[in-house]
Chain A
Amino acid sequence: MAETKRMTIREALSQALREEMYRDETVFIMGEEVGVWGGTYAVTRGFYDEFGEKRVRDTPIAEMAIVGAGVGAAMAGLRPVSELMTINFAFLALDAIVNHAAKIHSMFGGQFKVPLTIRTTTGGGRQLGATHSHSPEIIFAHFPGLYVCCPAMADDAYGMIKTAIRNDNPVMVIEHSTLYQTRGEVPLDQDYLVPVGESRIVREGKDVTLVSFSKGVHWCLEAADILAKEGIEAEIVDLRWLRPLDTSKFIESFKKTNRMVVVEEGLPQFGVGAEITARVMEEAFDWMDAPIKRVTAEDVPLPYSREIEQMALPSAEKVVKAVKEVL
């Protein structure tokens, strides 16, 4: 095992990007305010001075072009990191992501590859109102041709950036806007990668399986601490990748605990919970001792006002309540 260093997710992302840019001259960053400003979440602070404007490219506010030009540059053999300031603006780039990044390799019979990384940040809870508080990761996970990962921990943030940049497919790295200050141990290994489509158990337990990703993992960890005090041992599966989706670990866990709660910040309808539940029905129906519960955002546009926004979002308490309903 490599030595580790404790750092924030922001530092882990930044270090991974910096190392990859030193490792490979074809890696460059483009997006709104990535350069002179230093990145709106400060991930690329200092990069502009360190690497220059050729490799840290400020763009106009033009999401279709940020992703579309990234697709073209990737097809031409560069390794762009196209940054979308937040996932809310990814809707503007949806065609470039879905119809181009995800399709070009297949549609032209494998002639072109698109080694593009799209970095963006998701999540609500910051009183930004309905248009700026989405958690729509599932939209991107719907389409074959893309990979989608969502780091919840610092080591994953570090390894996923490197994996995305080195992979020959388009990869979306969807960070969470409230996790940049979250600390964790990161391996001191410049080649630390996160296997594509591999989930992991972040806490072991025998009584119930909690399945989540991104910020949801932290609600689950908090809930597991509360439950532990009451003698309930929750096992937590961090999906890490929404595409490809690793079913093996949560199915295995479910066969042990026979009970499950799926936790996500996104909306309930056709969400991750719906997908995971269907997979359990298909692969482990006979192990089911109680109906699977979902903890999601309320099925409404998120509001501005602090109290009601928090009421609309998942929480550790809501996870605890759901667990008690399945026990």
Chain B
Amino acid sequence: MADFKKADLLDMYYDMVLIRRFEERCAQLYQEGKIGGFLHLYIGQEATGVGAVRAIRKEDHIFTAYRDHGIAIARGLDINALMAEMLGKVTGVSKGKGGSMHLASREHNFWGGYAIVGGHLPLAAGVALRARYMEEDFGVLCLMGDGATNIGYFHESLDLSAVWDLPVVWLVENNQYGMGTAVKRASGVEEIVKKAQAYGMKEGPRCDGMDVIATYEAVKEAMEYARKNGPVLMEALTYRFVGHSMGDPERYRTKDEVRQYSEEDPIGKFGAYIKSKKKGTDAELAELDQKAAEAIEAAVQFAEESPDPTFESLFEDVYVD
């Protein structure tokens, strides 16, 4: 087990809380009509995102799907610019053109959230191809939901990555439902990592995605393998405590099931772990909670005070001049 310094543990805890507060605030802003479009919240899955993103290096690259807020925050994107994007402001990370599902930051090697299920998988393979082509030492972490593992893009991209030994960690965030369809109702193989065998690919672990340390360690090992040898398919078993998106009637699962998982809140569990290891006190954790809440309020203020994009901006960035 990795030897985490106190500061690292507290940083991870802070990121998880920051994500939770961001998501809760976004839900409110959505209900107030300030956030439009679709809103897919990450509540419940914070340990997966923070553990995975922390496990890779700055020079590694990240792709993810449309449930992307948590990944962006874990990667250190500016919280003000993220909230501004949610509100469709010109100061947003994607200048108000992307929205919730299309957050990105080139300088963070965070290549974006992608809203066509599976559409980002070949893109991740393409970026990974650069590492082999230019003989550069980086890898690509490509997150996807369990639902994405049934689409054609998954097959074509994983196969190509295996044929070309591309340094990709294909990380399936298995939250057990693709929208409202349970994994077993959508996939012939319930244990998704087994799909690696179809491609002659390294079968990675099914880690506990509700445990930030377990996820960190599993992804770290997978990425080290991928950089040197080639792709790995792995899974983080997780659960989203809220609907697929806002307004999900959640007919596909029982309230009892949600309650059961919610009792295993990854943030609460991690806080308890930190205290048990004597790496933090209740007061220190409470201070981080407070700091996160303040950061989110400042971000909302920044976003609300930012200007809307102009008509002229419609025609900007359609092509590279």
Contacts and interface: CB of A to CB of B under 8 A. Distances in A.
Interface of A: 26, 28, 54, 57, 59-60, 62, 64-65, 67-78, 80, 95-96, 99-100, 104-113, 115, 144-145, 147, 168-169
Interface of B: 61, 92-98, 102, 104-106, 111-112, 114, 116, 119, 121-130, 133-134, 152-153, 155-157, 159-160, 163-164, 316-320
B105 A111 contact: yes
B318 A106 contact: yes
B104 A111 contact: yes
A54 B133 contact: yes
Given A60-B163, A112-B111, 16 more contacts: A26-B133, A54-B133, A57-B164, A60-B156, A62-B156, A65-B156, A68-B119, A71-B123, A72-B125, A72-B129, A73-B129, A74-B126, A95-B116, A105-B319, A106-B97, A109-B92
A67 B157 CA distance: 11
A168 B320 CA distance: 6
A112 to B, nearest CB: 6
A72 B123 CA distance: 4
A105 B317 contact: yes
Contact of B122 (A26, A28, A69, A105): A69
Contacts, number: 133
A108 B98 contact: yes
A110 B121 contact: no
A115 B96 CA distance: 23
Contacts of A62: 155-156, 159-160
B119 A100 contact: yes
Contacts of B155: 62
Given A60-B160, A68-B123, A169-B319, A107 B97 contact: yes
The SS class assigned to the A binding surface is: mixed
21 contacts: A28-B133, A60-B159, A62-B155, A62-B156, A68-B156, A69-B125, A71-B126, A74-B126, A76-B61, A78-B129, A80-B126, A99-B119, A105-B320, A107-B98, A108-B94, A108-B112, A109-B317, A111-B94, A144-B318, A145-B318, A169-B320
Nearest to B103: A108
Nearest to B152: A64
Given A62-B156, A108-B102, A112-B106, A72 B124 contact: yes
A95 to B, nearest CB: 6
A54 B165 CA distance: 13
A72 B94 contact: no
A190 B129 CA distance: 28
A74 B111 CA distance: 13
Contacts of B119: 68, 95-96, 99-100
A107 B102 contact: yes
Nearest to A70: B126
A76 B59 CA distance: 13
B111 A68 contact: no
Nearest to A99: B116
A144 B320 CA distance: 12
A65 B122 contact: yes
A108 B317 CA distance: 9
B177 to A, nearest CB: 23
Nearest to B320: A168
